[in-house]
Amino acid sequence: MQKINSTMLIEKAAQLLENGTADRVLGWKKGEFDYDITPAVFNSVDQIKKEFVFGDFCGANLSKYLVKETRKGDGKVAVFLKPCDTYSFNQLLTEKRFDREKVYAVGISCEGMADIFKVKQIAGDGIVSVSSDGENVKVETLYDGEKTIKLSDVIAERCINCKSRKCVAYDELMGEEGEIIDSDRFDMVSKIESMSEDERFGFWQNELSKCIRCNACRNVCPACTCEKCVFDNPDSCAQNKAPADSFEEKMFHIIRAFHVAGRCTDCGECSRVCPQNIPLHLLNRKFIKDIDTFYGEYQAGAQVGSRAPLVDYTEGDIEPGEAVMKGESENA
């Protein structure tokens, strides 16, 4: 299968503007280096031809921008969605966060995105250029010249544990539809579950104490599209700006995870953007794993309109006491 590349997307994006399908395009824009790519709204074919880019460093999930972007004027917004982004897209639709009619979605197949920090760890400082051919990554550095790394060695952690390469929503698909993957994404959650209580506490105390409350996790999260977040609302009894006590770090992350429980599609953006490298996705995954164990498998965003587990129930649901025990021991 041919890997989706910049040229193909540029052509598509330009075509969508030219033929009037959309009047603006959400995509990715070239950065200063080869890896610092910014999500951007493109308004003209010129701009697309000049600045649009797609490659191994286009990890950003564009679906959340649709909430804001569809509110601007009447025209349609074209958006490029990787498989994991399509789940977020569906979840946003389920929650009626934007008007489907105002969006032209192009699904693009994805084999996993690269993580620049992994590249830097291997290739060292001073990366002048980085490019990949789908198998190898060629890195040129200031100090050590050119190096070739296997792409598979620098694939982002979240993509290694990819749950699905299937585009679940699109008006048009580029590349193959992809398949749902039997991933090992819960391994780390299981590992923590099998730790002792003290170890678990130690692990999270250490991780969460790094939090600087920059809100990047929240602001990037496609499930966190609240008009006003409780943590920003002085009337919510929960507002705070900085973790002045270790309690507040926990409070913020527990409540945030709880608010997206059953709605989180496990896109992994939270961990990707955390400047302190806190594995925040593990909190969300714990909820996903518990939901799967307690109430049957549920993938948020797999279908538009599906009923999230927290706004649903059955008469025979597991009791909380039992659930806690099960949540600890179900490491299968």
From the CB of 331, what's the least distance to another protein, in Å?
12
Tally of residues, the chain: 332
The pair of structure tokens assigned to 300 is: 């948020």
Q: Is 12 in the site for another protein (CB under 8 A)?
A: no
Selected binder of another protein within 128, 134, 135, 152 (CB under 8 A): 128
Asked if 51 contacts 41 with a C-beta cutoff of 8 angstroms, the reply is no
Residue from 20, 145, 311, 332 binding another protein (CB under 8 A): 311
Q: Quick one: 236 exposed, middle or buried, by C-beta within 10 A (0-12, 13-18, 19+)?
A: exposed
Q: What is the C-alpha separation between 173 and 107, in angstroms, rounded?
A: 5
For residue 155, list its beta bridge partners.
114
**Subset of 46-75 contacting another protein (CB under 8 A):** 60, 65, 71-72
Among 7, 148, 209, 236, binds another protein (CB under 8 A): 236
The nearer residue to another protein, 165 or 253, going by C-beta atoms, is 253
Window of 13-21, 80-88, 169-177, 233-241 that interacts with another protein by CB under 8 A: 233-241
Q: Pick from 255, 292, 303, 304: which binds another protein (CB under 8 A)?
A: 255
CB of 5 to another protein, least distance (A): 20
Residue of 135, 187, 307, 331 that binds another protein (CB under 8 A)? 307
Window 75-114: residues binding another protein (CB under 8 A): 95-97
What is the nearest approach in angstroms of another protein to the Cβ of residue 215? 5
Please say which residue, 1 or 228, places its beta carbon nearer to another protein: 228
Write the binding mask 204 to 223 for another protein: x where contact by CB under 8 A, - elsewhere. xx----x-xxxxx-xxx---
In the chain, the N- to C-terminal Cα span, in Å, equals 34
**Nearest approach, Cβ of residue 144 and another protein (Å):** 10
Q: Does 297 bind another protein (CB under 8 A)?
A: no
Q: Count residues near another protein (CB under 8 A).
A: 106
Q: Which is nearer to another protein, 171 or 193 (CB)?
A: 193
Q: Reduce the secondary structure of the chain to three states and give it as a string.
A: CCCCCHHHHHHHHHHHHHCCCCCEEEEEECCCCCCCCEEEEECCHHHHHHHECCCCCCCCCCCCHHHHHCCCCCCCEEEEECHHHHHHHHHHHHCCCCCHHHEEEEEECCCCCECHHHHHHHHCCCEEEEEECCCEEEEEECCCEEEEEEHHHCECHHHHCCCECCCCCCCEEECCCCCECCCCCCHHHHHHHCCCHHHHHHHHHHHHCCCCCCCHHHHHCCCCCCCCCHHHCCCCCCCCCCCCCHHHHHHHHHHHHHHHCCCCCCCCHHHHHCCCCCCCHHHHHHHHHHHHHHHCCCCCCCCCCCCCHHHCCCCCCCCHHHHHHHHHHCCC
Output 144 or 184, the one with its CB closest to another protein: 144
The neighbouring-strand residues paired with 140 are: 129, 146
Residues between 133 and 192 with contacts to another protein, criterion CB under 8 A: 142-143, 189, 192
For position 198 contacting another protein by CB under 8 A, the verdict is yes
Q: Looking at beta carbons only, is 166 or 264 nearer to another protein?
A: 264
Single residue of 18, 153, 172, 245 touching another protein by CB under 8 A: 245
Binding status of residue 237 toward another protein by CB under 8 A = yes
In whole angstroms, give the CA distance from residue 29 to residue 5: 14
CB of 231 to another protein, least distance (A): 10
Q: Which stretch binds another protein (CB under 8 A): 3-11, 100-108, 161-169, 249-257?
A: 249-257
State the nearest-atom distance from the C-beta of 43 to another protein, in Å: 9
